[in-house]
Amino acid sequence: MTLHDFRYPAAILALIICYFFGDTYFISLLVIIALHSMAAIGLSLLSGYAGQISLGHAAFYGIGAYTSALIALHIGITPWITIPMSAVIAGIVAWAVGPIMFRLKGHHLAMATLAFGIIVHVALVEMRGITGGPNGMGGIPPLSFFGTPLLFDEDIFPLVWGVVIVMILLSENLIRSPHGFTLRAVGAREHVVPTLGSDTNKSKCLVLIISAVFAAIAGAIYGHYIGYLSPGPFSTTFSVKLLVMVAIGGFSRIWGVVLGVIFVTFLSEWLKPFGNVELLFYGALLIFTMIYCPNGLLSQLGVVASNAARNLRQRTPS
């Protein structure tokens, strides 16, 4: 296990400090950041390491949110069980669409994932009888812990960040495992992989399933935490936003992606007064990052900062 890795204790320490000293607004932002991180980490495995761009990842987030909420509402099972159930369902959906989508490559694949995202979104809007359509559905039971419902940001905070840490750990494990090598090889030069005896489609489907499960868990927790669902948050805009987070974090850097999520979340808070201009801004940011910082905006800023520091140090002694 990589628990000796200093980043885990450092992150946990930082979270504890935030938990005790942050105000309510700050904590609520951190909860959102955690939920988005779960989806973004999965997307980083899929689009970063394995190089399969997805423009429809919000669909899995939505599937997770709605299935968990619907099962809890109509059958009355505790969310502790419906959340994993929704993850399994999202996994099955991924398993079913993966082999079809991965017949396509490059732009064609991107278009197919976009279409998938739109189809799921339209379904959420149109299936009024079940989902409540654009009006949404309310009264979703919250998670509860020994009888106390987890209603407030402070209550859910340890849970969501715990899940994020576990997902980071699992992802890092996957990356350095034998399967991880194949994933990265698919991302680097797909046509070589079959000559090494591995089935590219299998490994792409595997990573799609994993990323779908991560996104579904995030969506499901989100539903029980907010208590109300409407199709709005599960549109293509959210898919693009996730991709921007992953890109800014450097695509194939698990921890970097979390930083990317933090960056974009604070940015979107700041952009809120401007309304829909938001999306325009993300587009521009994405293009800028792809051209000038292929390893991620933040790591590029890191490089610039460390160069500046070195220059400063070189200048001072002389």
> Applying CB under 8 A, which residues contact other proteins?
1, 170, 173-174, 176-182, 184-185, 187-189, 191-200, 206, 210, 252
Min separation Cβ 151 and other proteins, Å: 32
List for the chain the helix, strand, coil content (%; round to 5). Answer: 80, 0, 20
Closer CB to other proteins, 177 or 311, in the complex: 177
Nearer to other proteins, 181 or 281 (CB): 181
**Do 160 and 31 touch, CB atoms closer than 8 A?**
yes
Q: Which is nearer to other proteins, 194 or 283 (CB)?
A: 194
Nearer to other proteins, 239 or 252 (CB): 252
Locate tokens 């939920």: which residue? 35
Residue 307: CB minimum distance to other proteins, A: 13
CB of 247 to other proteins, least distance (A): 16
CB of 200 to other proteins, least distance (A): 8
Pick between residue 52 and residue 239 the one whose CB is nearest to other proteins. 52
Other CB atoms within 10 Å distance of the CB of residue 180: 19
The residue type of 216 is: A
Q: What backbone torsions phi and psi does residue 315 show, to the nearest 5 degrees? A: -75, -40
* CB neighbour class for 9 (10 Å; exposed up to 12, middle 13-18, buried from 19): exposed
Q: How far is the CB of 310 from other proteins (least distance, A)?
A: 13
Q: Smallest distance, Å, CB 300 to other proteins?
A: 15
Q: What distance, in Å, lies between the first and last C-alpha atoms of the chain?
A: 45
CA 19 to chain centre: 22
Helix (H, G, I), strand (E, B) or coil at 251: coil
Rounded CA separation 298/304 (Å): 10
Give the Cβ contact number of residue 281 at 10 Å.
14
Q: Which is nearer to other proteins, 88 or 192 (CB)?
A: 192
